[in-house]
Chain A
Amino acid sequence: MKNFAALTRMRIQIAFRNKMFFFFVLVMPFAIFFLYAGVFAKSVPRIVSFYLGPVVAFNVMGSFWGLSATLVLFREQGILRRFHVAPVTAGDLLASSIAANYVLTLPTVALELFFARVIFHVPHLGNPVSLFLLISVGIISFGALGLVIASVTNTMQETQVLNQLLWLPLIFLSGATFPLAYLPKMVQRFGLFLPATYLVNGMQQTIVNAATPWSRYVEILSLSIWACLTFFLSCQLFRWEPEAKVPRRAKLLVAATAIPFLLLGFVENRSDRILREAHTAFENFTSAPSSPKPPSIGMPATPPSGGNPSGGHAN
């Protein structure tokens, strides 16, 4: 526990000295926040409120980029070797990455919520307990995903390719950038197999409908289980040495990270609960009298019934 605390402190200290950190943790998230709230939502409080959950989820999910890149860099430079010869365990190192990332991400998220209230006059931020739980479990689980990515890639280049491959579906097919209800039906169904969809929907329901933690137990629980599973796998697959390559067994183990949401995806596809919620939120937001033409990002005024929105939007 002492090592974990010392390593967490070190990681936070070093992050503050890194220019890239400021770009990814402050500039990028706020640029996206103001783009959605100020431009797409045209500062209309109710629309900002609709987008707030997805925007915060977007920020939270970004955790995996930083964690995977740092861990691979540490391994490539031989920094992990130095820790290996000291009485430090893989668990200490990995848990401290997650904890440091949590501490560093939380203020940005809190500021986004604060700005939403103060600058964009969002009427309320929903249930604070659900909000806190979802944000926390989101940062932790996506951080752990980053650690697994670092464990199954050998070089920084490979890591970045895999990050991109995961990032694009996670943000585009989950409702984080375009509302889920706005996506083609097939894509919506596919989205139910992605952890991101549960985070986005949970956040949105919490903010728009003040959903209680009990009503969001599926999202909170599934993301928590996923966080434990990915963290456990990242410890199992952890490599100290740069020349140690990924064993084939490891690649199979990684497939296990997909299992929870594969199962949940089947259940949710049968019940349609998430999709119904997403549609209702979208309908409420598009049909409200105060903003007859909501779609700040150029969406049709009525929710499409599975049609394909041709013409991608600038994100």
Chain B
Amino acid sequence: MANPILQVENLVKRYGEVEAVRGVSFSVEEGEVFGLLGPNGAGKTTTVEILEGLRTLDSGQVYVCGLDPQRDSDALKQEIGAALQATALPDKMRVIEAIRLFASFYKRQRDPQELLKRFGLDDKKNSFYSQLSGGQKQRLALTMALVNDPRVCFLDEPTAGLDPQVRREIYDVIEELRRDKKTVLLTTHYIEEAERLCDRVAIIDHGKVIALGTPRELKARSGGTTRIEVRLSKPASDGILKSLEGVVDAREVDGAFVLHSQRPPQTIVSLVKQLEAQDNDLVSLEIATPSLEDVFIEYTGRRLRD
């Protein structure tokens, strides 16, 4: 296998007393869409910003396109494209001007007009930045990340705060990057995004990688079971729920009980029987095929949501 285009080994970053990243390691092959999935504050953005050369690291080693982001910052910036979080452009800058300006900074450039067409911003090209909607601003951010035809794209929470419709638009854009065989490092706290877009995912929590693999592998690791989430009118112990037919794992998460079952129909029947016997009631019941959320719950005992 060729050298990975992106390599992170034992990365550590501290902010004063707080260790934001605690020994993260992963590598990404050329042409891969790689996701860092984790809750807010897990250390995803810090990791990405170190890879982009925006922040220094405290220990560990990081290579992007074979370059050290600190030492070879200038050369690296020519090779990467980034859509950062919490960034903006001057209000009175027009879309086309922004793209032309940023393209002019690079040795390798793509045609601004073609990019605008491709990302559906053609009719907005003469609008001021302040006149764009949230989704349009985000699409512009993605467009700008591609002005230099980068080898690696860093997309930091590209859909955070967008409504589902706009989010799907952004997914289409990222799918297109995959078709172009671009290497993409994507951070997200949306399960759906990671499952749908990423070839491989590293689940990050409290500055550590807790699981890494393809979405399918990760889900399989959680047993290929069906998730049954129930809320009961009275508390019940894990022990009783674990003993239900077909249940391989049961735990309490935020007041609900999450059961993993290999035979869901039998589990439900035995659950109802148990509850009747204990004079307990079922308040709600949800059945879901396993997702990366289950993987997260399995490792951390918490949900991924904010």
**A178 at interface, CB cutoff 8 A:** no
Chain A residue numbers with a CB within 8 Å of B86 are: 78, 81, 242
**B299 at interface, CB cutoff 8 A:** no
CA distance A241 to B45 in the complex (A): 14
Give the contacting residue for A6; candidates B80, B82, B89, B104; CB below 8 A. Answer: B104
* A240 in contact with B105 given A77-B88, A82-B88, A85-B84 (CB within 8 Å): no
Give the contacting residue for A87; candidates B74, B84, B88, B90; CB below 8 A. Answer: B74
**B63 at interface, CB cutoff 8 A:** no
Interchain nearest-CB distance for B32 vs A (Å): 21
Query: Chain A residue with minimal CB distance to B144?
Result: A82
Chain B residue numbers with a CB within 8 Å of A3 are: 104-105
**B282 at interface, CB cutoff 8 A:** no
> Which of A14, A17, A85 has the most chain B CB atoms inside 10 A of its CB?
A85
Query: Chain A residue with minimal CB distance to B100?
Result: A6
Q: Mark A80-118, 1 if CB is under 8 A from B, else 0.
A: 011011111000000000000000000000000000000
Name 17 interchain pairs, CB-CB below 8 A, sorted by A: A2-B104, A3-B104, A3-B105, A7-B101, A18-B92, A74-B90, A81-B54, A81-B86, A82-B87, A82-B89, A82-B144, A85-B54, A85-B77, A85-B82, A85-B84, A87-B78, A241-B54
Interchain nearest-CB distance for B58 vs A (Å): 16
Segment 68-106 of B: residues with Cβ below 8 Å from A: 74, 77-78, 80, 82, 84, 86-90, 92-93, 97, 101-102, 104-106
Q: Could you tell me how many residues of chain B have their Cβ less than 8 Å away from some Cβ of chain A?
A: 24
**A236 at interface, CB cutoff 8 A:** no
CA distance A14 to B92 in the complex (A): 6
Check A86–B92 contact: CB distance below 8 A: no
Chain A residue numbers with a CB within 8 Å of B53 are: 85
9 tightest Cβ-Cβ pairs between the two chains A and B = A17-B92, A78-B87, A87-B77, A85-B82, A82-B87, A77-B88, A81-B87, A6-B104, A78-B86
Check A6–B97 contact: CB distance below 8 A: no
